[in-house]
Amino acid sequence: ILPQVSRTFKIPMFNSQIADFYSKVTQQTVNYRKTNNVTRSDFLQLFMQLHDDGQGLTMNQVTANAFLFVIAGYETTAATISHCLFEISRNEEIQSRVQEEIDEVLGGEFNYEKVNDLKYLESCVTETLRKYPVVPILNRVCKHDYQLKGTSYVIPAGTSIIIPIFGMQRDPEVFDDPMTFNPTRSSSNSLIAPFGLGQRACVGARMATFVIKLTISSLLAKYNLQLVHPVTSELTFSPKVVSLTPNEKILIKFTHR
């Protein structure tokens, strides 16, 4: 049995009750697996192994990583689904095209292969992630001295860097009419990076995209969507929340097709 988690585990911008809750849940889960000799093929098992070797993660770090997976795997996906449904709801032409594809490709049967073949819906998801990157900035650390191309400026190794994903993906110098939701827009632009890029890119990107497509296709196969209150202006977002969260209340009416 692992020792109790110390109270040093803290979560910036969250109160102590949340930290205590995740500390308790993680400890109980680890204790249960060890007591009952339960082994599962998941990341928590990997975290436990890294803890047990004595040179890997501390129990506080195990808890922090477990918390991160819950937040990154739930809130971000839910927010992207909400933003995509918002845009589809206020554009009848896009909604009709998505529904036509769902009817043609799925035919009422939902499986991994067929959902992956929903290419136009995937373009809608990509465009949603461009316009509404749920994590609006990325934090990185420069590993080596790096000279910016075309300049004499060098970013020293160890410099903390903030990458403004939200600003990049709405830059009119990069994207024509960036505030227009356009699923036919090319998705090959390297500045569309809602999941990050390279070795530090989101490990759950493919699963998140599939879950978003599965959820939206399940809804649009049965329902037509309409905004209860038409929204003519662009959404504004709360500065108090890490993920992209609208200040406005969005109400969508679901009616059977």
**Which pLDDT tens digit goes with each residue over 105-160?**
998 899 999 999 999 999 999 999 999 999 899 888 999 999 999 999 999 999 99
Task: Indicate the pLDDT class of residue 230, thresholds 50, 70 and 90.
Answer: confident
Q: pLDDT grade, residue 12 (50/70/90)? A: low
Residue 217 confidence (pLDDT):
97
Contact 45, 51 (CB under 8 A): no
Dig out the tokens for 95 from the structure.
């909604």
Provide the pLDDT confidence category of residue 202 given band limits of 50, 70 and 90.
confident
